[in-house]
């Protein structure tokens, strides 16, 4: 099974979407193996978004992502990175399909409700920023036999 990192961003928390988003993840069949409500420090945000350093939107991105609480999630399942990207929808909510998280709840590129790792490598790097290995759980769900062959 694959693990990926997702984060309900400050706008998603402020809009009261934590439960709805987690519900969609669980209904899809993914397993949440790590979850935290936290306020990102500037250092955490800089580490997370380091590939964007020097870009014109970088300062505003850091200010936004540290402006309120977020929910950090580690999600596990078959092809979790690709599957969660599909569940979230296109980065630009105006291009995201209805039925996706961003398509249903986002209105602006800079306030698109949720972040998700874009590769297995990114997922590993991002998970390590927010979680210690001992904070991630391993457990079986009896439902798994009905989800996977």
The average confidence (pLDDT) of the chain is: 96
pLDDT band at 122 (very low <50, low <70, confident <90, very high): very high
Please confirm, yes or no, whether 52 is among the known catalytic residues.
Answer: no
Q: What is the pLDDT of residue 146?
A: 84
Q: Which distant-in-sequence residues (6+ apart) come within 8 Å of 66 by Cβ?
A: 39, 40, 41, 42, 45
What is the rounded distance in angstroms from the CA atom of residue 96 to the CA atom of residue 112? 10
CATH superfamily of 2-136: Nucleoside diphosphate kinase-like domain (3.30.70.141)
Neighbours of 29 (CB within 10 A): 15
Percent of the chain with pLDDT over 70: 100
φ, ψ for residue 56 (rounded to 5)?
Answer: -60, -30
CA torsion, ordered 62, 66, 46, 115, to nearest 10 deg: -80
The predicted model gives 60-78 an average pLDDT of 97
**Long-range contacts made by residues 58-62, C-beta under 8 angstroms, separation at least 24?**
60/110, 61/110
pTM of the model: 0.94
Of the candidates 115, 116, 126, 131, the residue annotated as catalytic is 115
Q: Are 89 and 101 in contact (CB under 8 A)?
A: yes
Q: Residue 29: pLDDT above 90?
A: yes
Q: What is the pLDDT of residue 127?
A: 98
Q: Residue 145: pLDDT above 90?
A: no
The predicted model gives 119-126 an average pLDDT of 97
Q: What is the pLDDT of residue 113?
A: 97
φ, ψ for residue 117 (rounded to 5)?
Answer: -60, 145
């Amino acid at each position: 099974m694959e693990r990926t990192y997702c984060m309900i961003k400050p706008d998603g928390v402020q809009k009261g979407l934590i439960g709805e988003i987690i519900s969609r993840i669980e209904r899809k069949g993914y397993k949440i193996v790590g979850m935290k409500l936290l306020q990102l420090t500037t250092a955490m945000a800089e580490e997370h978004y380091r590939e964007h350093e020097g870009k014109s939107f970088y300062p505003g991105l850091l200010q936004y992502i540290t402006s309120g609480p977020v929910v950090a999630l580690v999600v596990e399942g078959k092809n979790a990175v690709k599957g969660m990207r599909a569940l979230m929808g296109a980065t630009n909510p105006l291009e995201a399909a209805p039925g996706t998280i961003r398509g249903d709840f986002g209105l602006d590129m800079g306030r698109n409700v949720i972040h998700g790792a874009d590769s297995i490598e990114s997922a590993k790097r991002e998970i390590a920023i927010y979680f210690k290995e001992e904070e991630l759980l391993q457990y079986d769900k009896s439902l798994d036999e009905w989800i996977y062959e």
